[in-house]
Amino acid sequence: MMQPDRPVGLIGYGVYIPRYRIAANEIARIWTDGQSGAPIEAKSVPGPDEDTVTISIEAARNALARSGIRAEQLNAIWIGSESHPYSVKPSGTIVAEALGTTPWISAADWEFACKAGSEALTAGMGMVGSRMAEYVLSIGADTAQGRPGDALEYTASAGAAAFILGPADECLAQIEATVSYVTDTPDFFRRADRPYPVHGNRFTGEPAYFHQIQSSVKRLMHELDRQPQDYTYAILHQPNAKFPQAAAKRLGFTPEQLAPGLLSPKIGNTYSAAALSGLCAALDVAQPGDSILVASYGSGAGSDAYSFVVNEKILERRHLAPLTSVYLERKTFVDYAVYVKWRGKLVMG
């Protein structure tokens, strides 16, 4: 279990979900004559002028609005994603410039499949907890790609979640502790220069998602001497609707604990933002004294688990930026033709 020397917490949080959606049955209409069972209802689709940089900027502006600090007070901007617009050129510097924090700031991009964002969160805890930094902005954001016709195409979506970490005495939710569990598991990967990722067949599911998440969550609860019923809410990485519900049941969490942070049925798998946007949604409804357990998952594979305790500052800060529900309710459905045009899947010849 990892705990910083100086207590650390979230002083601001912000989410962003694009306006557009494609229904799972619209994708099934194209590829399976509408016959296949869909893993979710719909997924979010980034607009034609959106990418990981732009969605990170909006989530970060929301987090800053809630934090009450000025952008130039940030000491680091770290963005976790598997869909950075450039292979070489950091997203972090563009986001830092947009927020007005340059030049005296650390900026870097993180990579660990769907848990790149939580890696940035853990690193931010270390920076603030060691007093190397007062405030760190950690972001998980993705505009994920799925190969046309692949099972992944039903779920690979877009979203961003941003958190400003700071000293616990200024926070709206303190991070009590975290654990990281990683193993070399080839469940899902994308080789350099390839446009779409692939699944490692039998490794998906049991030895990957379930093993890593159950390991991290059990260890964290054991070290903190907690039981599932001690938490108000539980947020697990959500690649679809079924996996987090099954993992929660195995771990002893109820559907009621899971519900506020379970966004995947309506927006799909936002990858690096999946567990973290679920945390934002839970913070939107949390009351002082509530506790939240969060576990990310990244293919390759690993899981970071966190234990949060919310305090009274949530009440005055949550309405300083749009709630997650505002973005969830703002939705315009597009058909498969518009989707492939916007997502760059048309070969123009």
Active-site residue list: 82, 114, 237
User: Which of the ranges 36-44, 90-98, 197-205, 228-236 carries the binding residues for another protein, by CB under 8 A?
Assistant: 90-98
Among positions 41, 97, 134, 223, the unique one binding another protein when judged by CB under 8 A: 97
The nearer residue to another protein, 252 or 322, going by C-beta atoms, is: 322
Residue 90 interacts with another protein (CB under 8 A)? no
Cβ within 8 Å of residue 239, ≥6 positions away: 114, 155, 209, 264, 269, 274, 297
Residue closer to another protein (CB basis): 37 or 349: 349
Map residues 299-338 to x or -, x wherever contact with another protein holds by CB under 8 A: -----------------------x---xx--x-x------
288 is a contact residue toward another protein (CB under 8 A): no
At residue 175, φ and ψ (nearest 5 deg) are -90, 110
Q: For residue 247, say if its preceding peptide bond is cis, omega within 30 degrees of 0.
A: no
Residues 44-63 that bind another protein (CB under 8 A): 47-51, 53-54, 57-58
Say whether 137 sits in a helix, a strand or coil.
Answer: strand
Nearer to another protein, 79 or 125 (CB): 79
Please identify which residue in 65, 98, 182, 285 interacts with another protein, judged by CB under 8 A.
Answer: 98
Please tell me whether residue 14 adopts helix, strand or coil conformation: strand
Quickly list DSSP for 58-79: HHHHHHHHHH---GGG--EEEE
Contact criterion met (CB below 8 Å) for 279 and 294: yes
**DSSP E strand boundaries for 203-299:** 233-236, 291-295
Distance CA 12, CA 166 (A): 9
Helix (H, G, I), strand (E, B) or coil at 340: helix
Residue whose CB is less far from another protein, 130 or 332: 332
- Residue in 45, 99, 234, 275 binding another protein, rule: CB under 8 A: 99
- Half-sphere exposure of residue 16: CA atoms within 13 angstroms, side-chain side: 26
Contact between residue 255 and residue 245 where contact means Cβ atoms under 8 Å apart: yes
Q: Does 284 bind another protein (CB under 8 A)?
A: no
Give least dist CB 327 to another protein, A. Answer: 8
Residue 294 binds to another protein (criterion: CB under 8 A): no
Per-residue x/- track, 173-202, another protein (CB under 8 A): ------------------------------
Interface residues with another protein (CB under 8 A) are 19, 47-51, 53-54, 57-58, 85-86, 94, 97-100, 322, 326-327, 330, 332, 341-342
